[in-house]
Structure 1
Amino acid sequence: MKSLTLLRHAKSSSDDPGLSDFDRPLNARGVAAATAIGRHLHAHRVQFDTVLVSAARRTVETWTLLAAELEHPPAPTVERTLYLCGRRALLTRIRALPEDAASVLVVAHNPDLHEIASALAADGDPVELARMHQHFPTGAMAVLRFDGAWSKLAEASLDSYVVPRELEET
Structure 2
Amino acid sequence: MKTLTLLRHAKSDWTDTVARDFDRPLNGKGKRAAASMGAHLRSRSTDFDHVVASPAVRVVETLDEVQRGLGRTLAPVWDRRIYLASAVTLLDVVRDLPGAVGDVLLVGHNPGLEDLVLWLVPESAGALRDAVEDKYPTASVARMTFAVDRWTDVGPGGGALERFVRPRDLDPTLGPDAD
TM over 0.5: yes
Greater Cα shift, 68-77 or 24-33 = 68-77
Q: Which amino acid aligns with 1:68?
A: R
Q: Any unmatched runs of 5+ in structure 2? A: 174-179
Aligned partner of 1:169 among 155, 168, 172: 172
CA-to-aligned-CA distance 1:22-52 (integer Å, 9 cap, x gap): 0010001100000000000000100001001
Greater Cα shift, 53-62 or 120-129 = 120-129
Structure holding more strand per residue: 1
Q: Any unmatched runs of 5+ in structure 1? A: none
| Contact kept in structure 2, 1:10 and 1:139, CA below 8 Å | yes
Aligned to 2:177: none
Aligned to 1:145: 145
Greater Cα shift, 49-58 or 120-129 = 120-129
| Contact kept in structure 1, 2:2 and 2:102, CA below 8 Å | yes
Partners of 1:130 and 1:18 lie apart in 2 by 35
Partners of 1:163 and 1:8 lie apart in 2 by 10
Q: Which amino acid aligns with 2:84?
A: L
CA-to-aligned-CA distance 1:96-131 (integer Å, 9 cap, x gap): 111211110011001110000111112786111111
Greater Cα shift, 74-83 or 117-126 = 117-126
Matched length: 170
Partners of 1:55 and 1:70 lie apart in 2 by 20
CA-to-aligned-CA distance 1:3-35 (integer Å, 9 cap, x gap): 100111000001023431100100011000000
How many Å apart are 1:144 and its aligned residue?
A: 0.3
Tell me if 1:29 matches 2:32. no
Q: Which amino acid aligns with 1:168?
A: D
Aligned to 2:161: 158
TM-score by length of 2: 0.89
TM-score by length of 1: 0.93
Q: Any residues of structure 2 matched to 1:85-164 within 5 Å, and which?
A: 85-122=85-122, 126-148=126-148, 149-154=150-155, 155-164=158-167
How many Å apart are 1:69 and its aligned residue?
A: 2.7
State the secondary structure of the residue aligned to 2:70. Answer: coil
How many Å apart are 1:146 and its aligned residue?
A: 1.0
